[in-house]
Amino acid sequence: MPLKTYFFTKKNGLSLFGIAVLLFSSQLNAQSYAFITNQLDNSVSVIETGSQKVIKTLTVTGKPVGVAVNNFNQQVYISTPNGGGFAVLDGRELEQIDFVKVGGASLGIAVDSLGQRIFVADWYENTVSVFDVASRQLIKTLKVGRSPSGMMVSHDNHWLYVANRVDNTISQIDLKKLKVRNVTKVGTHPFGLSVDQKGQRIYTANVESDDVSILENTHLKRLATVKVGERPYATTLALNDSLLFVTNQDDETVSVIDTATLKVITVITVGEKPEGISTAPDDQHVYVANWLDNTVSVIDAKTLTVVNTIETGEGSRAFGLFILRAVTDAEFMAN
């Protein structure tokens, strides 16, 4: 499991060394949870990734779709297109604690890399709303392309990337200035996005052109286009960014792309109408939400096989980064 780096001198009476020891031990024992939105029955299934079992189902009204997790404060944000906003879940108590109105139809949702701001894409208003995590108050609303959907923040917290489905473009937003810095054309109807850990490559699944666009981050120049299955929806990286996994809605498959050669190395059969996809904190297990099967497929990125299928709710979508790394009390206090 990747270790998070913290910089402390002393906090709550604990020395730097003491906190480091607590954090290291908690990393070894901490459990993670996958939050699967079930759009058709207005619920969220919570899967414990250790046991790979649903441990709780939460009611979230408004046809929940998008998911963003905040590992810093252990909260989860669920977009609700029919509710005009997003629900706030306590990721430790596994309960809803708030609902924030946005307006329009909230779809894509993301959190910055410091856990301080929430970004919500409005499908009809063609905007991205920026909220403060602590107060849940609106900071700014940015105009982007038509029908913004998938969003992803670079690991250095410098850029927010937005897929504008109808415009066939990607917007690059400067998170220091909160301004759109660049827009570039990709394939037809981009939806899900991934950014590598170095922030150098952006991958987008293009639903109508059945391919993935790979861009570099400096000028959003297109590096390659890789053909995948029918109606690719979302993407995730695994095994130290060496593999890109792409859900193909109409093929009932996941394409696996070697990020060094930019070639498809295998295709894995999953459930019917796979949509959301995310990688667990162990960087090995990939979770796929299957819309028509009402299941989640778990793929082992090392063996490239489905190792489990988990029953969830009706219309599982889980669009976004939906796996929360749970922490112990000591680590929660340190944050």
Residue 211: CATH number of its domain: 2.130.10.10
Q: Does 84 fall in a domain?
A: yes
Is the pLDDT at 4 greater than 80? The verdict is no
**pLDDT tens, position by position, 309-324:** 999 999 999 999 999 9
Residue 3 included in any domain: no
* 30-53 pLDDT, tens digit each: 689 999 999 999 999 999 999 999
**Structural domain of residue 256, as residue ranges?**
10-334
Q: Is residue 148 part of a domain?
A: yes
Note whether residue 5 is domain-resident: no
The b/e string for 250-262 (b: 16+ C-beta within 10 A; e otherwise) is ebbbbbbbebeeb
- Is residue 141 classed exposed, middle or buried when 0-12, 13-18 and 19+ CB atoms within 10 A define those classes? middle
Q: How far apart are CA 151 and CA 161, in angstroms?
A: 5
Classify residue 141: in a domain, yes or no.
Answer: yes
Rg (CA), the chain: 19
Is 62 inside any structural domain? yes
* Cα gap 19→12, rounded to integer Å: 10
Residues 274, 220, 131, 73: is their CA dihedral positive or negative?
A: positive
The first and second tokens of residue 237, run together, are 């990286």
pLDDT classification of 104: cutoffs 50, 70, 90: confident
In a domain, 146, yes or no: yes
| pTM of the shown model | 0.90
pLDDT, tens digit, 9 for 90 and up, residues 230-242: 999 999 999 999 9
Weakest-pLDDT range from 101-105, 186-190, 264-268: 101-105
Question: Is residue 153 one of the residues assigned to a domain?
Answer: yes
Domain count, the chain: 1
